[in-house]
Chains A and B, each alone.
Chain A
């Protein structure tokens, strides 16, 4: 089957919370933060390594407003992530479709895919930097490599695992090749492909960070590294919480896009588009 993150949507296992519980959660969170602060002030936690929440907050103020230096690095990282993600997923989806439609190629590519999958792909980062030099090209290449794989495998398996029964129905009704592709293969493969894209975008962020750790020139990854080297842990944590927010936005954004594009995959999406179409139809016919 296709790769998924192997992680079911949090909603299904009840990891999202209703609004009325938010207050209890907030209280618990504040108590934890308060304990941390008190522990640090009382000298149980070394503030050099475990920064105080108040210091982290001050760092947020510093790097976002007073110095404003985080914006430049954030912009650099996100630009790379975007470029690498787009390039990598176009490559992945394209090659996946190509291989999926060619049984012969598919047969011969399997061992290579297994080897590629077992290799930690991020490990190729130093090699790519040596080959392509410091700077954006090698970073983008690393991100491409990291996010190529999931869209590739998912497109491949999405295209291959088309339901036999439906295909037979299409053929018996005399559907042409393009019709099968557009009305059967694409709708069935798209949710799987989108799952791959979601994984790829998360991987792209990690890839960018690793590339920046190694190159240490600009970007949020090098910022974290430099702050930690200077034992400015509060600012390093502010950067990491920034990444948490970005990660959350990516997660939600991809979910939203997924719902829009592959609307037939969920009941709610089906209902939404169905109602809209019914209204349009009624409007057109008086």
Chain B
């Protein structure tokens, strides 16, 4: 996610966390109050921009009182995740084959590029005609859209060569397979994860757009239904659930990134090496 550098004075220790939160909360509350006041006095039309209190009520109704959102929430989440998994599996395997074989890359590349410059969303109606009105078409669109960023990033990561390190591997008697598994693959992981993160976001977009076009369940359907009833408060409350899905997906990928590509973060690396030391000591019977 975009990393906006903090203002210099914002750099504080962990103990300042809560203290720093207060101004943010105050600002947020102030915005809500001004917004509420502007709508109540008629400065902003309540049809177009609903009052925060109305949105709060809609959130209460959708998420707590009736709980209607959960069914749709999980359907969209499933569509995005399954679509992403399919897209990522195809993309990563094609990228690995392309990295291993120059010929394969040469003949796959033009089609990958054509797929990239075509707005994937344009395929929505056709994919719905092919895969039906159910979850299948949403999964397919999510897979198609998330394919390219993952493919290109994995391929880029895999074909960057570190000649010095490969030399070292070879002089120590490492086989080509060892070089691939222990050097090229780990070196490609940071880029691969960057691609996976982009892919996840686009997969969610694919699922939601396909739901707009034609579906019976999912937050996209809920969203367009509420909008066309001019129930803006409920519509915004539904939008919140999409934000939640986005955050859940992004941070779970971030977590995996942190665990798997542990060597990029100083603290994670230290933790990992401490754990290894402990295991080693236990083995040596200390």
Given contacts A108-B24, A210-B212, contact A224 B129 (CB under 8 A): no
Q: Determine which residue in A213, A241, A243 has the highest number of CB atoms from chain B within 10 A of its CB, and name it.
A: A213
Contact of B129 among A12, A103, A228, A247 (CB under 8 A): A228
Q: Is the CB of B23 within 8 A of A108?
A: yes
Q: Does A169 contact B (CB under 8 A)?
A: no
Contact of A120 among B116, B194, B208 (CB under 8 A): B208
Residues in B with CB closer than 8 Å to A209 are 119, 121-122, 124
Q: Does A126 contact B (CB under 8 A)?
A: yes
A50 to chain B, nearest CB (A): 8
Docked complex Cα distance between A157 and B2 (Å): 9
Q: Is the CB of B121 within 8 A of A6?
A: no
Q: Is the CB of B227 within 8 A of A120?
A: no
Q: Does B77 contact A (CB under 8 A)?
A: no
Q: Is the CB of A12 within 8 A of B156?
A: yes
Q: Which of B6-14, B52-60, B166-174, B275-283 contacts A (4 or more CB under 8 A)?
A: B6-14
Contact of A127 among B23, B110, B223 (CB under 8 A): B223
Chain A 132-161 interface mask (CB, 8 Å, partner B; 1/0): 100000000000000000000100110011
Number of interface residues, chain B, beta carbon within 8 A: 72
Given contacts A6-B198, A15-B112, A244-B117, contact A210 B209 (CB under 8 A): yes
Q: Which of B82-141 contact A (CB under 8 A)?
A: 105-107, 109-110, 112-114, 116-126, 128-130
B47 to chain A, nearest CB (A): 8
Chain A residue at minimum C-beta to C-beta distance from B249: A118
Residues in B with CB closer than 8 Å to A202 are 119
A70 to chain B, nearest CB (A): 14
Q: Which of A83-91, A183-191, A231-239, A266-274 contacts B (4 or more CB under 8 A)?
A: A231-239
A254 to chain B, nearest CB (A): 11
Contact of B232 among A2, A6, A104, A130 (CB under 8 A): A130
Q: Is the CB of A127 within 8 A of B235?
A: yes
Q: Does A173 contact B (CB under 8 A)?
A: no
Q: Which of A235-272 contact B (CB under 8 A)?
A: 236-237, 239-241, 243-244, 247-248, 250-251
Number of interface residues, chain A, beta carbon within 8 A: 75
Q: Does B236 contact A (CB under 8 A)?
A: yes
Q: Does B242 contact A (CB under 8 A)?
A: yes
Q: Does A93 contact B (CB under 8 A)?
A: no
Q: Is the CB of A228 within 8 A of B126?
A: yes
Q: Is the CB of B118 within 8 A of A122?
A: no
B95 to chain A, nearest CB (A): 10
Residues in A with CB closer than 8 Å to B186 are none
Contact of B122 among A21, A49, A131, A243 (CB under 8 A): A243
Given contacts A120-B204, A130-B228, A228-B125, contact A1 B118 (CB under 8 A): no
Docked complex Cα distance between A248 and B126 (Å): 21
Q: Does A177 contact B (CB under 8 A)?
A: no
Q: Which of B34-42, B147-155, B256-264 contacts A (4 or more CB under 8 A)?
A: B147-155
B236 to chain A, nearest CB (A): 7
Docked complex Cα distance between A130 and B3 (Å): 33
Docked complex Cα distance between A17 and B195 (Å): 24
B32 to chain A, nearest CB (A): 13
Chain A residue at minimum C-beta to C-beta distance from B231: A130
Contact of B1 among A108, A117, A132, A221 (CB under 8 A): A117
Q: Is the CB of A243 within 8 A of B118?
A: yes
Contact of A130 among B6, B110, B227, B250 (CB under 8 A): B227
Q: Does A28 contact B (CB under 8 A)?
A: yes
Chain A residue at minimum C-beta to C-beta distance from B7: A103
Q: Is the CB of A119 within 8 A of B223?
A: no
Contact of A5 among B4, B130, B198 (CB under 8 A): B198
Q: Does A115 contact B (CB under 8 A)?
A: yes
Q: Is the CB of B208 within 8 A of A122?
A: yes
Question: What are 25 residue pairs bridging A and B, where the CB atoms are less than 8 Å apart in the complex?
Answer: A5-B198, A6-B195, A15-B109, A15-B110, A17-B110, A28-B107, A108-B27, A114-B1, A118-B1, A118-B246, A118-B250, A120-B208, A122-B209, A123-B239, A126-B228, A127-B232, A130-B235, A157-B4, A160-B5, A206-B121, A209-B122, A213-B209, A225-B125, A225-B213, A243-B122
Binding site for A on B (CB under 8 A): 1-10, 23-24, 27, 47-49, 105-107, 109-110, 112-114, 116-126, 128-130, 148-149, 152-153, 155-156, 159, 194-195, 197-198, 201, 204-205, 208-209, 212-213, 219-220, 223-224, 227-228, 230, 232, 235-236, 239, 242-243, 246-247, 250
Give me 14 other A-B pairs in contact (C-beta within 8 A), A107-B7, A209-B122 excluded. A8-B153, A10-B152, A15-B109, A25-B107, A110-B6, A122-B209, A126-B212, A127-B227, A206-B122, A213-B124, A224-B125, A233-B126, A240-B126, A247-B119
